[in-house]
Each structure stands twice: as structure tokens, then as C-alpha cells.
Structure 1
Amino acid sequence: MRTRLVGPADLTRIGLGWGAFVVLLLIHPILDAPAPPVTLILALTGIVAVILVCAFGVVKQAEALAHRLGDPYGSLVLTLSIVLIEVILIAAVMLGPGDHTTIARDSVMAVSMIILNLVIGLCLLIGGLRHGGLRHNRVGASAYLTMLIVLSVLAFGLPAAIGTDGAYTAGQEIPVIVLTLAVYGFFLFQQMGPRAVDFTEPDAAASRADAGAHTPIGDVFREHRREIITRLVLLVVTVVPIVLLSHDMAALLDDGLGRLGAPPALAGVLIAAIVFLPESITSVRAALAGEAQRVSNLCHGALVSTVGLTIPAVLVIGLFTGQTVVLAETPADMLLLGATLVLSVATFASKKATAMHGAAHLVMFAAYAIVLFS
């Protein structure tokens, strides 16, 4: 008897997500700033509610794929589906009207602080309190952090040191694009191929080493092709409205936060948090289950893909359109990013990540919030 892959709840989530997006397009004139306060609150509440419903649908498919494919492939599916859509939308904003010279820098910085400190901090705190400590695969975690250090230097540090007004010159952009894509491509090749075992849970990695072999991903796909393809499609069509709705509500957030006197950058942070909500929920559930390496695969993997794909994309757009792409971060944000990377290396160099590590990461996010409101 075949398992039912598409249920009424799945179709309801998809219909709700896309229906909300269509409604938002139709009532767009009503929501133009300055929208009436009641209308603004109702619209934002409705959008967040729909995103939450859809997010749990994405989590359901992601966890089913992770169970079927195993890590790192299962986590990679969710990570790349969200990150690719995010990169496309950032590119669309750059190609649209207006001045968006810092959108890539601001977006990636917000994602970095949310993932590395808020999400990972929360996961380690609750996972550490529940299990006493979380054992992760130190080789895999080290590979992620190695990539993040290199990509962060290319993205934010180097343009501040050798660029002009925080942006690379045309002659500098090409080698940076090539280097970024080359090292990211090599990382993916290693992660999905010869070094895949480094991104599995420690016990699973030890079992594979003892057995000397594991089922190739190609064999798994051939045996469960129908289920995998169906769940992939369901995941993508459920996650797309989340990203579209989160970006469409940017104007509403700008309007509302402007009336409250909040810093403009806060809207970007909130949007980044919502875009990566499905991944955050999946990470927390993994931490509660004691799956520390899955937390790393989801969080660190998402950030490696975000930087590795976003920076080359915006630099290519800048080259072809003549737009200036400002990547150099402010001294305060560079300090926080550097300290966060050092803290991450210290956390995942230990045999077990504890609640104390999680608390330290949450304090770093609080420091980011202080900078944001300063």
C-alpha cells in the first residue's frame, strides 16, 4: 500500500500561501503608505499568520526528505531552495527602480547575525538544557566555519581595505566572483561527494566508517523517486509564497516602523528572520531531538550558501548594469561579525556544544540589537 504523499493539509497550505499573495497584489493600492493604522496592523498580522502556517508545511516536507535522503542531502534541499529564492529576489530589487547599493550587504549581515547567533544560540540553549550537551561532527562543522571565514573576508573585509568607498572596482570584482564561486562549488562537491560522511551525526558517521560503505544517494533516489520528487515540489511551492510575502510586506514594515521611530535596518532584520523561519523551526526541532550536526547543516549550510551565491550574483549585476555595490561593513558590524566567527569556532571546536555556548551566542545577538538601535 502506497503512502499518501499529498494530503488535504498540504493543499490547504499551498492554497493559503498563494491566495494571500494574490490578495496582497489586488489590495496593494489600499496598503500604499501611509496606510491607515488599523489596515496596516491587520495586513501585517494576516501575512505573518499565513507565513507561519506555510512554514510548518515546509518543515514537514524538509524533515521527510531528510529522513529519506539522510544528511547532508536532506538539509541541503531546504537550504538551497530558500537561499536561491532569496538571491533571486535580491537581484530583482537591484534591477528595479531606486538606489539599492547596500541591499546585499545589509541582507547578508542580518542573515549572518540571525543564523549564527539567534538561531544557533537558541538551538544550543534548549538542546543543551534538554540533553546536557549536543555532540556534533567536528570535521563538518569546521568545514562550514572555514568557508564562512573565507567568504566573509571576500564579501565584507576586502572591499573595506582595497575598494573605493566600500565597493570593489570593476577590475577587483571579477577575481572575487571567480574565487567565491570556485571555493563554494568545490565545497558543495566535497559535501555531496567524498566528504559527505563529515556532515552526518557522529554516531552515524562512526557506523558508516565501521561498515566501510553506505547506500549511494543515486540508489536512494531511484528506489524512492516518486516520493522524493513529490516532496521536493511540495517544499518549493510552499516556500515560494513565504519569501514573496515577506518581501512584499517590506513596505508595510517600513511604514509601521517609521511611525514608531524604529531604525530602518530593523525591517531588513525582521524580513530575514521570516524568510529563514522554516529553517529556524527545523533547526530547533533538530536540537530538541539531539541532532547537533543537523543544526549545523541547516544553519551553517544556509549561511555558506547565502554568502556564496548572493555576493557573486550582486557583483555580476553591478558589472552589467553599472551599479555600485557597496559591501564594506561598518566598523561596529565588522567587529560583531568577526567576534561571532571566533565564538562559533570556539563553540564547535569542543566535543559537545552546551547551553553555556548557546547563551553566549544569544548575548552576541543582543549586542547586534544594541548596535542596530544605536
Structure 2
Amino acid sequence: MPTPSLLRTVLTPTAVFRLALGWGAFLATVLAAPVLSGPLTAPVLWTVLAGIVAVIVVCSFGVVGQAEHLARRLGDPYGTLVLTLSIVLIEVVLIAAVMLGPGEHATIARDSVMAVSMIILNLVVGTALLVGGLRHADLRPNRAGVSAYLALLVVLLAVAFAFPGLIGTGGAYRPGQAVALAALTVVLYGFFLVRQTGAQRADFQEVRPSTAAAAQQAREPGPEPGPAGTAARHRPEVVARTLLLVATVLPIVLLSHDMATLLDDGFARVGAPVALPGVVIAMIVFLPETVTTVRAALGGEIQRVSNLCHGALVSTVGLTVPAVLTIGLVTGQRVILAESPAHLVLLGTSLLLTAVTFGGRRVTALHGSAHLMVFVLYGLAVFS
């Protein structure tokens, strides 16, 4: 692809707008730093916070958009992996910004990852199965792939939320435990990636493309014969989109500190539940990928739904928990991960329901409604 044509393909007006918006917002916060550092009236605080959140969401959609283009070029599971890792990067940045900001945030990682778990396992999966099941009568997931995701989730979520309360002190791991479990979690996640992209790659691909999915695949250019192959042919585009993805992520990273400070101040003023900041971060992070997941369900790509949701959660827990434990060790902060009994019951119910849903021959809209009911229960638990 010639360079001018490549630039027109990658640097679309929408992509340029997102870049300008993100970097412009960051420049504005730098210029307004003396004002933002002082006490703000409630209307000004919420207006500035809403503006920063809106910019982060718009840029997040840009990151996901570039990751989706890369996903189509790279194919599954590589493409979906790029997408999920992009989302996890944004989440780690936002959580780290809150942890390193003013105030005490010992439970922000726990609340955020728990919220992500409930949003993914129940709200997003439930919505996708509901709309997908109403449109398609025969949605068959790749049970081997879902089983692999669930095996890791059972272990990783137990390490994240159950064992700190059993073997730690005050709901937090002791330093020696934190080092060992952070390292083991990274090793386990790394082994999973090696298997997912290697010997077990077929476990994470569609069992049988539906009519809509097959038509979409027929419209997209397939691999070309020859030694270079499709990857070599699209290498300039892959490099360009990767650079654009990084350039779109950077404003999110730079704006996250101001967002964390204002979020902490605003919720403290209204006496919001302790877990609410984590829920807000989770919703900001996973909103763009939710849209992608629902589109996949409408297209009948049920295994892609699992890859996007369950794969994202494996990446979230497998990378976020070691990251926050490391931040806690380096900064001397206490990282409380142990969850309440009510949330542990909800988490266990979600995992059991996921095993039942995706363990059958096909998934239906009825399964989706059950997942949505569990998410409603989680909402009641947060505000109880």
C-alpha cells in the first residue's frame, strides 16, 4: 500500500479528531493546573470531571477502533488479544493513577477488578447473549476455549479475592506473599498466552461460522498465497495502526491523574459508597469493548463474544493484580484485595452460571437473562 494511501486509510478524520481532542484536553489541564489544584465549587468540579471522563471515553473508543483493525489483520486469537490487552492497559493506568493520587485508596484495585468481573461476566455477556440469542437460533461456542478461560478465572479470581482474607493480614497479602503470587500469576498468564497463540489456538476459534459471520468473512480479504503471506502484505498498516493506538492511549494516561483527583474529591463530597469509584473506572474502561462484543453477538460470532469477554477478564486479573501488588510493594501502600462474603457469593454464582451457560451445546437468550439478573444483584450489593 503506497504511503499516501496508507495515511488516508489510517489517519481518518475521526482518528485525527480523537488525537486532537485528547492532546488538546491534556494541554488544557496543564494550563489550568493552578486553578484545578485549588478548591473547586461543586458545579465546576463535576463539569471538569465530566469533561475529562468524556475525553477519556472518546479516546478509548479510538484505541479499541485501532485494535479492531489490527484484529482483522492478525486474525484470532492474536487480534482479540491485541484488543483485550489495549483495554487492560487503560484499566491499569487508571487504577495506578488513583493509587498514586492523594488520599487513601487501599481497596481501589479490588473494587475496580471486582466491578470489571461482574460487568464482563454478567452485564456484557448477558446483553450479548440476549440480543444474539434473539437473532440467531443456533449459537454454538467452542467449549474447549471457554473451559480454558474458566479454569484460569477460577484460580486467578481466588488468588485475587478469596486468599488474601484467608492467608493474608487484614485482607492484604504480606510482602513475601505478594511477591510470590504476583510472579506466579504473571507466569501462569504468560503460559496461557503461549498456549492460546500456539498449540491450542483452534480452541479459541469459531466452531461453525453462522450465515452472517460467513458472509462477513467472505467480504473481507483472505490470506494471499505465496511466501510473504497476508501478514507481510499488511505490515506497514499494522505498524501505522499500532503507532496511532499508542498516540491515542497517551492522552488517557496523562489525563488519568486529574481524573483520579477530581473523582476522589467529588465522591467524598456526596458520601458515595466506597466501591463506586472502582465501578466507574470499570465502566469507563469496558464501554468501548462492550459495543464490539454486542456487535459480535449480533453477527452470530459467539466464540468471539467469549474471547472478548472471558479473554479480557483473564487478562485483567492476570495483569492488573500483579501490577497493583507491585505498585503497593514499591510505594509501601497497603493493597486490600479480600472481598466481602456477599461479593464472593456473587462471584462464585457468576462463574458457576458461566460454566453452565457455555457448557451446553448452544447458548440462548434465556441464558443471557439469567446473567443480567446476577448483575442486578451485584448492583444491589454495591449500594446496600
TM-score range, shorter chain: 0.7 to 0.9
Give me the whole-angstrom Cα distance separating, in 2, the residues matched to 1:371 and 1:214. Answer: 53
Amino acid at match of 2:180: P
Is the alpha carbon distance of 1:33 and 1:329 closer, same or farther for their aligned partners in structure 2, counting shifts above 3 Å?
A: farther
CA 94–242 in structure 1, closer or farther in 2 if over 3 Å, else same: closer
Q: CA 1:268/1:350 → structure 2, altered by over 3 Å: closer, same or farther?
A: same
Tell me which of 319, 334, 353 is aligned to 1:309. Answer: 319
Q: Indicate conservation of the 8 Å contact 1:126/1:288, yes or no.
A: yes
Name the structure 1 match of 2:237. 227
User: What SS does structure 1 have at the residue aligned with 2:208?
Assistant: helix
Q: Could you tell me which residue of structure 2 aligns to residue 335 of structure 1?
A: 345
Cα distance per residue 1:80-115 (max 9 Å; x no partner): 122134324434544555433222212211111111
Q: Deviations over 1:214-267 (max 9, x none)?
A: 999x95432211011111222232244346546633443444444544324222
Alpha-carbon RMSD across the aligned residues, in angstroms, is: 2.9
1:119 has 2:124 as partner: yes
1:106 maps to which residue?
111
1:199 correspondence with 2:204: yes
Kindly indicate whether residue 284 of structure 2 is the aligned counterpart of residue 279 of structure 1: no
The aligned amino acid for 1:297 is N
Give aligned-pair identity as a percent: 61
Greater CA deviation, 244-253 or 218-227? 244-253
2:153 aligned with 1:148? yes
One-letter amino acid matched to 1:82: I
SS for the counterpart of 2:11 is coil
Q: Secondary structure at the match of 2:248?
A: helix
Tell me which of 336, 340, 344 is aligned to 2:354.
Answer: 344
- Match in the other structure for 1:248: 258
- Are residues 1:20 and 2:30 paired? no
Q: 2: CA distance between counterparts of 1:162 and 1:302? A: 27
Q: Distance in 2 between matches of 1:45 and 1:97?
A: 19
Who is 2:139 aligned against?
Answer: 134
Distance (Å, rounded) in 1 between the aligned partners of 2:324 and 2:65: 32
The amino acid of 2:359's aligned partner reads A
Q: Structure 1 residues 341, 19: closer, same or farther in 2, change over 3 A?
A: same
Distance 1:170 1:242, change over 3 A: closer
**Whole-angstrom distance in 2 between the partners of 1:321 and 1:242:** 23
Q: Would you say the 8 A contact 1:31–1:39 is kept in 2?
A: no
The separation in 2 between residues aligned to 1:233 and 1:143, in whole angstroms, is 32
Question: Secondary structure, in 3 states, of the residue corresponding to 1:352?
Answer: coil
1:45: how far off?
4.0
Q: For the residues of structure 1 that align with 2:255 and 2:299, how far apart are their CA atoms? A: 30
Matched-pair contact (CA < 8 Å) for 2:296–2:302: yes
Work out the number of aligned pairs and report it.
367
Counterpart in 2 of 1:69?
Answer: 74
Note the residue ranges of structure 1 that are not aligned, 5 or more in a row.
208-212
Q: State the Cα distance separating 1:323 from its structure 2 match.
A: 3.2
1:183 is aligned to: 188
- SS of 2:199's partner is coil
Taking structure 1 as reference, are residues 204 and 346 closer, same or farther at Cα in structure 2, changes over 3 Å only? same
Match for 2:343: what amino acid? D
Task: For residue 177 of structure 1, report the CA deviation from its aligned partner.
Answer: 2.3
Q: Give the counterpart of 2:364 among 346, 351, 354.
A: 354
Mean alpha-carbon deviation: is it higher for 323-332 or for 250-259? Answer: 250-259
C-alpha displacement of 1:339? 1.0
Worse overlay, 85-94 or 157-166: 85-94
**8 A contact 1:81–1:236 mirrored in 2:** no
Give a deviation string over 1:175-211, Cα, whole Å, max 9, x none. Answer: 3223212211110000111111111111269x9xxxx
Q: Match for residue 307 of structure 2?
A: 297
User: Which is worse superposed, 62-71 or 193-202?
Assistant: 62-71
The residue matched to 1:249 in structure 2 has which SS? helix
| Equivalent position of 1:324 in the other structure | 334
CA deviation profile, 1:312-343 (whole Å, cap 9, x unmatched): 22223333444332211111111111111111
Distance 2:254 2:124 in 1: 22
SS at match of 2:382: helix
**Could you say if the C-alpha distance between residues 367 and 240 of structure 1 is closer, same or farther in structure 2, counting changes exceeding 3 Å?**
farther
In structure 2, stretches of 5+ residues that fail to align are 215-222
| Residues 30 and 121 of structure 1, relative CA distance in 2, 3 Å threshold | farther
Superposed displacement of residue 117, structure 1: 1.3
| 1:314–1:246 distance in 2 versus 1, CA, 3 Å | closer
The equivalent residue for 1:169 is: 174
Q: Is the aligned partner of 1:372 residue 2:374?
A: no
TM-score, normalising length: structure 2: 0.85
TM-score, normalised to structure 1, is: 0.88
